[in-house]
Amino acid sequence: MPTVRTASAHRFTARAQRRLWLRAPAAVVALFFVLVAGVLGGCEYSYDDGRGELPAAPVITDPVLPRDPLENVPVSGEELTEWAKDVLPDAEGQVFHTSYGSVSRGRSKTESTKQLPSGTYSLTLACRSERRVSFTVRDAESALVDLSLRCGTSRVNVVHVSEDSVLRVTVEARSAANFAYRISRI
């Protein structure tokens, strides 16, 4: 038996065209917003804060030389004296105590300063060893400085002595080391 259609095909194409007409304005609006966002995203805000332009960074063309592996090998005699002069720069203010020397592997060495009047002092520490060297500076009551110094650099610490006292400086090393320190009033 033949089938009978209840709706015409022409009616379905009209609905499809209406849907297309409704979608087209939405696509145009979306495209408009994308273009506006792209244009506004390219804008740059600038203002004058009165500082002027920053100077150009210097161009470094010198190659960095590797450190001398023998630089941290302990020395003795005249070389030790020259090394101590090099690592302890000229101190500003009155120098109260300067010392340098050597410490054997696994040993410690303790020295005492003369009586220091109360005040603020700079303590410059340096060492020469293949490993770190520990420095402890104490007054009668407590430790003023307790640090492990990487050799090859000098370290300056500021300490305050509240009353006249004698400082004890202890240097410990796990391997043979040279040390130098200076106590000067600021």
pLDDT score of 5: 58
**Where along the chain do its domains lie?**
11-40, 69-185
Give the residue with greater pLDDT, 69 vs 97. 97
Q: For the whole prediction, is pTM greater than 0.85? A: no
Class of the 69-185 domain?
Answer: mainly beta
pLDDT score of 37: 73
The string of pLDDT tens digits covering residues 127-175 is: 999 889 999 999 888 899 999 988 888 889 999 988 889 999 999 999 9
State yes or no: pLDDT of 108 exceeds 90.
yes
Q: What are the Cα distances from residue 116, in Å, to 111, 136, 152?
A: 14, 17, 29
Question: What is the percentage of the chain residues whose pLDDT exceeds 90?
Answer: 37
